Structure 1
């Protein structure tokens, strides 16, 4: 097939994958809500959502890969892919900034007001005159019962080392790709995937310990809510990143990438480095401070 000219722009056929993605998100959110409230068949709905999500990823990734191998992506299409990834990561930055902003507001403003500080300090006497303005807190009256906050030492510190190491391994893989060292590329990607999955496994174990042994639950007031919201969304992003890395590893094993043509690898590497940076912020503001 002839290569497209720089100004050509490939328009794909109508695709079912956006609809499949919407269905997957619906099932995942519905299933998670049912599971958290101990309602049947929550786990079945959640599993169905994961299956639809996996099917969507496989089909959508496959279509784009086949388009690329067929030579349908001109330099103009490549630029659109890069701009799309820039804006996607920018949207993710603001997504997490929203949650960090909520954490800041709660810790430094709302808790202080409830404790009697500021121009809304009158609420301290009227509503909760026994409330102590300190963090972490589960709210007035210890709504969810006493709990032990999750500290930075232990699993969180080790997971920080794991994720930072994964940033180094994917960079090493990128160097191998640019130097046409396929073995370095493959082993670097495999190591990054392994470290990402280790991170998720350790976070799951941390959740189990926090929930069962430390009584940090979604009923632990604002501390439990913000803890699971921030770390849970990050863990989801790591999981999605690991899935994308698996797809990139499969393509690397088939020899799809060259030093001049490997934007799919670069896009996933950008995403992975973004996940690393977000975790550093989480480690500092959620676990350490």
Structure 2
């Protein structure tokens, strides 16, 4: 057996974990207060706290990424460190999968159990008569008990366009990865740039969809269980697309500076994994939220 040991870089103490924790705390408090203020139609400080939390997270990301990039470019990392990064990113994406599974679980529970039960299923024949005598047990629920009516968002139009955009972006990020592995820098830059533009286009169309939902369809976050699940699922996905697009932009500027080689490009690979994850989540959303 060889007595040679592979070096493993141990970084010095870092302030970024506690900075990130503070940012996430502000986001949680701010988001809750913002929703409460919006529901009560009052002017509060929730939105400002939420923006402050987002600003802290962005500051943390730039600072932490800068440190890691400098360490990587200084040759401090080894193959074992690269494996550790890959394991960490894999667990992070797994946690994100579980995050969305919770929201999909809420959607499925409402559709498959709650709505039929309220409509009289499972020997609850009088439930809808006692609680809501005009209740119609069909999904989506477009009318709330107080008489508020809305419309269901169809799958055609903007949702379909966004699906096509994300499918194309999966192809472009793949060919960017191929260009990196084959040391074709022009292909890498072009395909990565196209992927970023597609991500920005997706976000622009989602904003258009939300404006249309609020102003013309009466579909809001407080429009019953349908409005809740619709905006929570699509909104959190949009947040992940925003984060993924920012990651792609950072990677793009690193590529322009000559970073990454066919043998050493974990930063690009991790971002590519994340973008494919975002695409798969949207396909599930498109089927279960928009079509079915």
> Which band: TM-score by shorter chain?
over 0.9
- Shift in alpha-carbon separation, 1:9–1:144, aligned structure 2, 3 A: farther
- Residue-pair matches, total: 284
Conserved? CA contact 1:139–1:222, under 8 Å:
no
1:185 aligned to 2:188? Answer: yes
Structure 1 outlier segments of 4+, above 6 Å: none
1:234 aligned to 2:233? Answer: no
> 2:199 maps to what in 1?
196
Q: Please report the TM-score for the alignment, with normalisation by the length of structure 2.
A: 0.92
> 1:161 maps to what in 2?
164
- State which of 80, 91, 100 in structure 2 corresponds to 1:96: 100
- Shift in alpha-carbon separation, 1:119–1:70, aligned structure 2, 3 A: farther
Conserved? CA contact 2:144–2:223, under 8 Å:
no
Give the unaligned 5+ runs of structure 1: none
> 1:246 maps to what in 2?
249
Distance 1:29 1:266 in 2: 30
Distance 2:240 2:24 in 1: 14
Q: Please report the TM-score for the alignment, with normalisation by the length of structure 1.
A: 0.93
1:107 deviation in Å? 0.6
Conserved? CA contact 2:143–2:149, under 8 Å:
no
1:140 deviation in Å? 5.2
Give the unaligned 5+ runs of structure 2: none
**Structure 1 residues 111-130: aligned runs within 5 Å:** 111-130=115-134
> 2:15 maps to what in 1?
16
1:7 aligned to 2:10? Answer: no
Deviation track 1:101-153 (CA, whole Å, cap 9, x = no partner) reads 11111011110000001144553343233311011115652x46110111101
Distance 2:18 2:173 in 1: 32
Query: Once structures 1 and 2 are overlaid, which stretch shifts more, 75-84 or 42-51?
Result: 42-51
> 1:147 maps to what in 2?
150
Give the CA RMSD over aligned residues.
1.7
Query: Once structures 1 and 2 are overlaid, which stretch shifts more, 5-14 or 208-217?
Result: 5-14
1:81 aligned to 2:85? Answer: yes
> 2:224 maps to what in 1?
221
Conserved? CA contact 2:143–2:150, under 8 Å:
no
**Structure 1 residues 250-261: aligned runs within 5 Å:** 250-261=253-264
